[in-house]
């Protein structure tokens, strides 16, 4: 247990080269997007504000807005088709249909049966094509959009906002439902091979490779380009896409968010158009997306060299620290800004709409929203830790303060201070800090916690005791990890965010706006509290090594390799090699010889404190014991 806590401390503390290997980022909640390892895909679907992908193994993944769990598909490996509106549908290999997400009109409650061969999801209605060529509809039927024509000669279906289309075996099209813009009145002819329905307009692909459009056309979405080399079409809210025979994509219509400006390339095999975003499937089985990304803008970069993460609040931005000491940022808005360049950063923190970074020389830089001075840290080169809170709900003006821990154990604060959140207590015995919405916490060297700032929900009144090893501050609640591996919580508990699960196998904690996360010693994550966007429903797995909680989203670093304590170098003192061996012993011995605990300390070799507790800034006998234990365990796992 002690060793697990130590590993967590290393991951979350100052950057230690060689401690974390092959680390990638996953994300979930209101900003969830497909993870870097998502591949081997066979189909895509774009809904109003969410997306789905079908994998070659028959399973489904979802991302984007998840307020109605529309981006949380059921488990299983027997799916063969997907469809997304404001809700989601999936067709199974046995011919049955499942639905999930918004179900206000019953649109996510498909009929029973095993004879379905195709599905379509509209705004709040659904369609299904049966093996006998007939169509059934369900959900909102105000305009008759869920009442298909009778007959058994249909071969394809499409559902718009309030209208529907069907392609017949003779190549003609029929339409029904809302028709005030003519969207349900298709052109005559028997040479159509594909159909697509947008909000109030429609498209059709002809056998000669040309496209026709009809219905509402305020942005030109129903006016396709000329040409005879098109092989697929997609209709979004007010934008359209077409796939060409050479594997390239063209877009037209509303383009405010860039949704009608597809990427270049000739390796695309499928397209999908959502509310204001677009997707494309590549021949290699990967996905790319473009357009409005407000519910998917936390698209984590795909590198595998991240060592720390931080999630912000109002702007829902995210930060990641790389092993080379540089910072990447994604998500956010005009207020959050861009991180500074450089490779000398060792820690990061994300606030409501501002960010902080600690440099290797002990100085702090800040950027983003600065109305309260929260992004303007004090000068100095003696800082060892930083904190900026994620805040709670939008419009509350939370998390506009920052904290810095100095090497002498004192705390400084800056930014908004209207409830005293930026007025830390005096003293030189603090070892960790946490900034919440409008309150702050500090862990003392004796294992006790102090709090200050807004205390309307008791969030700044920590429990007594001297056995705490880590702290986290959310919007209006607080968490603490104890030395026995258990968690305690206090403050606002309206969503259960301050009621952690029982157990003694936790090694790290994170507090978001109104949700909480904990990392377990087996590498799995648990979440609790507000879960409207799925932010408290972490992915399964046992390969996570770090966690971060933003306002309404969550982050985790995962690794395919084990964290090796004591792997300092490779042969001839080169880069780490994944072994604890003689080369590491030589390096350790050299630093043991020069240990002072003052000025000449290299944190890379400080593995533990007395009794295997917290790091103590010394290279001493306790570190030798930990090193010897890992030496004894032998080679690369």
**What are the chain's domains?**
2-27+297-559 (2.130.10.30), 38-291 (2.130.10.30), 571-633 (no CATH)
pLDDT band at 434, cuts 50/70/90? very high
pLDDT, position 561: 41
Q: Categorize the per-residue pLDDT at 297 as very low, low, confident or very high, splitting at 50, 70 and 90.
A: very low
Report d(CA 116, CA 130) in Å as an integer. 4
Q: For residue 289, what pLDDT band results from cuts at 50, 70 and 90? A: confident
Output the pLDDT for position 116: 96
Three-state SS annotation for 88-152: EEEEECCCCEEEEECCCCCCCCCCCCCCEEEEEECCCEEEEEECCCCEEEEECCCCCCCCCCCCC
Q: What is the mean pLDDT of residues 376-397?
A: 74
| CA 128 centroid distance within chain | 32
- Selection from 518, 471, 515, 476 nearest residue 495 by Cα: 515
Q: What is the mean pLDDT of residues 81-91?
A: 95
CA distance readout (Å), 487 to 31, 125, 505, 509, 519: 27, 45, 9, 8, 11
Mean pLDDT of 45-55: 87
Between these two residues, 632 and 543, which has the higher pLDDT value? 543
Question: Span 187-210, mean pLDDT?
Answer: 96
In terms of average pLDDT, the best of 94-98, 527-531, 552-556 is: 94-98
User: If pLDDT is split at 50, 70 and 90, which confidence band does 591 have?
Assistant: low
On the question of pLDDT at 150 being above 80, the answer is yes
- Predicted local confidence at residue 596, as pLDDT: 46
**Could you tell me the pLDDT band of residue 630, with boundaries at 50, 70 and 90?**
low
Please choose, from the candidates 263, 568, 208, 511, the residue with its C-alpha nearest in 3D space to the C-alpha of residue 389: 511
When mean pLDDT is compared over 138-152, 265-279, 375-389, 505-519, the highest value belongs to: 138-152
Range of weakest confidence among 131-145, 166-180, 242-256, 273-287? 273-287
Integer angstrom CA distances of residue 471 from 454, 507, 613? 17, 11, 16
User: What pLDDT band is residue 316 in, cutting at 50, 70 and 90?
Assistant: low
Query: d(Cα 194, Cα 157) in Å, to the nearest integer?
Result: 9
* Short-list 472, 473, 459, 467, CA closest to 486: 467
String of b and e for 315-347 (b: at least 16 CB within 10 Å)? bbbbbbbbbebbbbbbbbeebbbebeeeeebbb
42, with CB counted inside 10 A (0-12, 13-18, 19+), is middle
| Eight-state DSSP code of residue 501 | P
As a whole number, mean pLDDT of residues 532-548 equals 81
Average pLDDT of span 526-555: 84
- The residue among 634, 622, 632, 635 whose CA lies nearest residue 2 is 622
Is the pLDDT confidence value at 95 over 80? yes
Rounded Cα gap, residues 278 and 260, in angstroms: 8
Distance between CA 264 and CA 229 in Å, rounded? 17
Closest by CA position to 183, among listed 149, 207, 152, 217: 217
**Host H or E run for residue 590:** helix 582-593
Write down the pLDDT at residue 585.
76
Mean pLDDT of 404-426: 94
pLDDT band at 50 (very low <50, low <70, confident <90, very high): confident
* Model pLDDT for residues 595-610, shown as the tens digit of each residue: 544 444 456 677 776 6
> How much is the average pLDDT of 321-349?
80
Give the pLDDT confidence score for residue 100 in this predicted structure. 96
Task: Please state, in angstroms and as integers, the Cα–Cα distance from residue 9 to each residue in 23, 46, 601, 609, following that order.
Answer: 16, 40, 18, 12
How many of the other CB atoms lie within 10 Å of CB of 223?
Answer: 15
**Average model confidence (pLDDT) for the chain?**
82
Q: Which residue has the higher pLDDT, 573 or 438?
A: 438
DSSP letter at 327 equals E
pLDDT band at 636 (very low <50, low <70, confident <90, very high): very low
User: pLDDT category, 485, cuts 50, 70, 90?
Assistant: very high
Q: What is the pLDDT of residues 21-46, one digit of tens each?
A: 334 455 464 433 454 345 677 888 88
How far is Cα 629 from Cα 626, in angstroms, rounded to an integer?
5
64: left (phi over 0), alpha (psi -120 to 50) or beta: left
Residue 606 tokens, joined: 């400080």
Percent of the chain at pLDDT exceeding 90: 52
Instruction: Choose between 234 and 2: higher pLDDT.
Output: 234
Q: Looking at residue 571, what is its pLDDT?
A: 62
For the cut 80, the answer to whether the pLDDT of residue 304 exceeds it is no
Task: Report pLDDT for 598.
Answer: 44
pLDDT tens string 166-187: 999 999 999 999 999 999 999 9
Read off the pLDDT of each residue in 72-95 and give the average, rounded to a whole number. Answer: 94
State residue 15's pLDDT score: 25
Q: For residue 560, give the DSSP letter.
A: S
* Residue-level pLDDT at 21: 34
229-243 pLDDT, tens digit per residue, is 999 999 999 999 999
The yes-or-no verdict on residue 618 having pLDDT over 70 is: no
């Amino acid at each position: 247990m002690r060793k697990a806590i130590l590993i967590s401390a290393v991951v979350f503390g100052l950057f230690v080269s060689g401690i974390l290997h092959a680390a990638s980022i996953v994300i979930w909640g209101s900003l969830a997007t497909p993870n870097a390892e998502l591949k081997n895909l066979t189909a895509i679907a774009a809904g109003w504000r969410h997306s789905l992908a079908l994998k070659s193994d028959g399973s489904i993944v979802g991302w984007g807005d998840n307020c109605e769990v529309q981006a949380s598909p059921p488990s299983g490996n027997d799916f063969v088709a997907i469809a997304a509106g404001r809700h989601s549908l999936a067709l199974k290999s046995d011919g049955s249909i499942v639905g999930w997400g918004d179900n206000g009109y019953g649109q996510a409650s498909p009929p029973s049966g095993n004879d379905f061969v195709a599905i379509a999801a509209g705004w709040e209605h659904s369609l299904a094509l049966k093996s006998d060529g007939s169509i059934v509809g369900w959900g909102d039927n105000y305009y008759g959009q869920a009442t298909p024509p009778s007959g058994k000669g249909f071969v394809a279906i499409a559902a718009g906002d309030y209208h529907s289309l069907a392609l017949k075996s003779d190549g003609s099209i029929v339409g029904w439902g809302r028709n005030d813009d003519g969207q349900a009145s298709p052109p005559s002819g028997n040479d159509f091979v594909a159909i697509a329905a947008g909000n109030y307009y429609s498209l059709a692909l002809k056998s000669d490779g040309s496209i026709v459009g009809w219905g509402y056309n305020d942005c030109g979405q129903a006016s396709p380009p000329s040409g005879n080399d098109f092989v697929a079409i997609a209709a979004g809210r007010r934008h359209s896409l077409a796939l060409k025979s050479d594997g390239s994509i063209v877009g037209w219509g509303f383009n405010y968010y860039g949704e009608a400006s597809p990427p270049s390339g000739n390796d695309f095999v499928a397209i999908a158009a959502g509310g204001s975003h677009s997707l494309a499937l590549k021949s290699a089985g990967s996905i790319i997306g473009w357009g409005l990304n407000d519910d998917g803008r936390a698209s984590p970069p795909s590198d595998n060299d991240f060592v720390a993460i931080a999630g912000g609040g109002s702007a829902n931005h995210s930060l990641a620290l790389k092993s080379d000491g540089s910072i990447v940022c994604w998500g956010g808005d005009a207020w959050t800004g861009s991180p500074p360049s450089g490779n000398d950063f060792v820690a990061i923190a994300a606030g409501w709409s501002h960010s902080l970074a600690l440099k290797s020389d002990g100085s702090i830089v800040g950027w983003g929203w600065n109305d309260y001075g929260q992004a303007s840290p004090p000068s100095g080169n003696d800082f060892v830790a930083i904190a900026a809170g994620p805040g709670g709900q939008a419009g509350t003006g939370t998390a506009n303060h920052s904290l810095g821990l100095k090497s002498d154990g004192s705390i400084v604060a800056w930014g908004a201070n209207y409830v005293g959140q930026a007025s830390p207590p005096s003293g030189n015995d603090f070892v960790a800090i946490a900034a919440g919405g409008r309150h702050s916490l500090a862990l003392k060297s004796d294992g006790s916690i102090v709090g200050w700032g807004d205390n309307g929900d008791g969030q700044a009144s920590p429990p007594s005791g001297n056995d705490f090893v880590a702290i986290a501050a959310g919007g209006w609640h607080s968490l603490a990890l104890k030395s026995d591996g258990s968690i305690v919580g206090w403050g606002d508990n309206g969503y259960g965010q301050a009621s952690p699960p029982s157990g003694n196998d936790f090694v790290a904690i994170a507090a978001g706006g109104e949700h909480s996360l904990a990392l377990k010693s087996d590498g799995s994550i648990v979440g609790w509290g507000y879960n409207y966007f799925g932010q408290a429903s972490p992915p399964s797995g046992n390969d996570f090594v770090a966690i971060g909680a933003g306002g309404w989203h969550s982050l985790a670093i995962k690794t395919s390799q084990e964290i090796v304590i004591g792997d300092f170098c490779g042969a001839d003192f080169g880069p780490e090699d994944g072994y604890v061996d003689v080369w590491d012993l030589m390096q350790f011995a050299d630093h043991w010889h020069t240990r002072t605990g003052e000025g000449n300390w290299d944190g890379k070799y400080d593995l533990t404190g007395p009794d295997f507790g917290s790091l103590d800034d010394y290279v001493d006998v306790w570190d030798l014991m930990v090193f010897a234990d890992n030496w004894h365990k032998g080679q690369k796992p």
